[in-house]
Amino acid sequence: MKMSYFPGCTLKNKAKDLDEYARKSAEVLGITLEEIENWQCCGGVFTTSKDEIATKLSSVRALMDAKSKEQPLVSVCSACHNVIKQTNHAMRNDSEFADKVNRYMSENEPYNGETEVLHYLEMLRDKVGFDSLKEKVVNPLKGKKIGAYYGCLLLRPNSVMAMDDPENPTIMEELIKAIGATPVVYGMRNECCGGYVSVESPELAKKKSDAVVANAKAQGADMIITACPLCRYNLIKNGADIPVVYFTELLAQALGVKEAENE
């Protein structure tokens, strides 16, 4: 099975492990991720201004490319996925916005949000299936107690992202179970880590990050996984005293395409 793939800027430098093990794991699971040719930055954040289209055009181009191949568009970075999914929703539901974009793009065929947009986790759940994934596991991660950290962008706004219950998500916990580990549910797993205020208010960012890690540890987690490069950076930068890793690293380890490390 082939799917179009949008890696995003950070996965080409600081978050290479998130990208590399996403690709390798997908191949083991029977999916080839075909990187969009000549992709550009997603824009970083989805601006809600109705008359602002410039920062959304690269996402539209990626969506159109996937449409031309009749493939879903997969992303793994929480921020990229949020921008692409919200842009696709706007193209599908906001006729004024879509008209401005299509007139600017000047393509023969207008784009109106036809592409299916999937986060990598959704691909695992909805296209592969966690039961099928479990059958592919060769190194079950028994004994690991893992706290999933969702952060702000993966699940919100729920009316658009529609991936999971934003207040009581389960998708990463189901993944943790499928790879043989024990999920740790803790209250701050879907709260902000403070990443977006780390420059303006490093004290607040540290306070928020510390609260996330402390809460996970208090519930018994010996490790945190995330899909967000900014969240991982912020948690580690602010002194997390348990490992914070990308979920794709543990997935790859369980599937036998990454050597186990001493955590």
Q: Per-residue pLDDT tens for 175-219? A: 999 999 999 999 999 999 999 898 889 999 999 999 999 999 999
- Is residue 61 located within the same domain as residue 157? no
Question: Among 41-55, 70-84, 114-128, which is the least confidently predicted range?
Answer: 41-55
Query: Mean of the pLDDT values across residues 109-130?
Result: 98
- Tens digits of per-residue pLDDT, 127-179? 999 999 999 999 999 999 999 999 999 999 999 999 999 999 999 999 999 99
| Domain count of the fold of the chain | 2
Query: Mean of the pLDDT values across residues 224-229?
Result: 98
In a domain, 25, yes or no: yes
Confidence check: pLDDT of 252 > 90: yes
Q: What is the pLDDT, as a whole number, of residue 261?
A: 62
- Is residue 81 located within the same domain as residue 162? no
Q: What is the pLDDT, as a whole number, of residue 108?
A: 85
Using the structure block, give the residue that is written with the tokens 């691909």. Answer: 123
Q: Which domain holds residue 68?
A: 2-120
Q: What is the pLDDT, as a whole number, of residue 106?
A: 87
Last residue of a domain, one of 81, 96, 120: 120
Q: What is the pLDDT, as a whole number, of residue 263?
A: 46
Cα–Cα distance measured from residue 7 to residue 74, given in angstroms and rounded to the nearest whole number: 8
What's the whole-model pTM score?
A: 0.96
- Is residue 134 located within the same domain as residue 251? yes
